[in-house]
Amino acid sequence: MRIAVLDDYHRIAHTLADWGSLGVEVDFFDRPIARERLPEVLSGYDTLVLMRERTAFPQEVLEQLPDLQVVVTTGMRNASLDVGYLKQREVRVLGTGIPGYGPVSEAPQPGVPSTIELAWALIFALVKRVPQEDRAMRRGVWQEGMPTNLRGATLGLAGLGRLGAQMVAPAQAFGMEVIAWSQNLTPERADECGVRHVSREQLLAESDVLSIHLVLSDRTRGLFGAAELEQMRPSAFLINTSRGPIVVEHALVAALQERRIAGAGLDVYDVEPLPAEHALLNLDNVVLTPHLGYVSREGLAEMYEQVVEDLAAYLRGDPIRVIA
């Protein structure tokens, strides 16, 4: 077995799990690899370890990796990996649990996932103008703009699953009303979480902060486009820590440029890493983070430890956490 661990951006994967216990060659790649170079760089590797959806592996790339036998992805879903094609090729695909949760269970374990913490960090940065005031002070300007308060404002949640539901308690602690909508949300689930169930039109029209907590799928891709952004308040903020393509990116850029919404806090994008010339980088009413929602030392350690467990079980001939 020859293992390639991809997208180890923080250069710490080798310290977070006992890779040596596998007794095989393990190489760590700490920078993104351009799609056209993947076949060349990964030639000869029979095992890939993927960090969620950082590097895409569609069929046209996988076809150029004839030695591939095993793929391990952190998490049990990876929208950037053509699992169906790998299944046809009889390449084993394994996964891991999500930090803070059991490997399969929907019930949250003690502790708040870092995705929720990041969503609130983006909200605070926007409503309190943290990036703008920081930049202004460095230019010698004292109090350039006017922050807004969360108390009395409405938090709208697109999605009330295990992550969306954990947005509720902090919002209520800050004195916010919480409303929620998704295609599958029932009034009973909303009542259980202590929020008001609304239509999508109400969600867009009433939210002062709209935070997205949905899984990317055929139903949610492009769910928030130009027409939906037009229904939001000019004073509203949009937060996306889920997946970039849930929001139509060019429509969001236009809405921000034309100040049809007040701002956005984004952790996810159509293309990651975000291209250096991207229009979002030139906007002063957006706060950007580089897909940090699930990133913490503790979380990465939990995922990589499970990767090593997966590979050890595979080598024993008894694979666990099998996706395909």
Which residues does the annotation mark as catalytic? 243, 272, 291
Type of residue numbered 119 = A
Task: State the number of CA atoms in the 13 A half-sphere of 243 facing the CB.
Answer: 19
| Residue with token string 């899984």 | 215
3-class SS of residue 253? helix
For residue 254, give the 3-state DSSP assignment: helix
Return the closest-CA partner of residue 303 out of 8, 1, 17, 6: 17
Q: d(Cα 23, Cα 145) in Å, to the nearest integer? A: 58
**Cβ-Cβ contacts under 8 Å for 168 (sequence gap 6 or more):** 157, 178, 193, 194, 195
In whole angstroms, what is the distance from residue 282 CA to residue 94 CA? 40
- Strands, sheet with 47-50, edge to edge from the N-terminal-most edge strand: 25-28, 2-5, 47-50, 70-73, 92-94
Report whether 176 contacts 170 (CB < 8 A): no
Which residue stretches of the chain are H helix? 38-41, 59-62, 83-88, 114-127, 130-138, 168-173, 187-193, 200-206, 226-230, 249-257, 297-315
Task: Please state, in angstroms and rounded to a whole number, the distance separating the CA atoms of residues 108 and 100.
Answer: 7
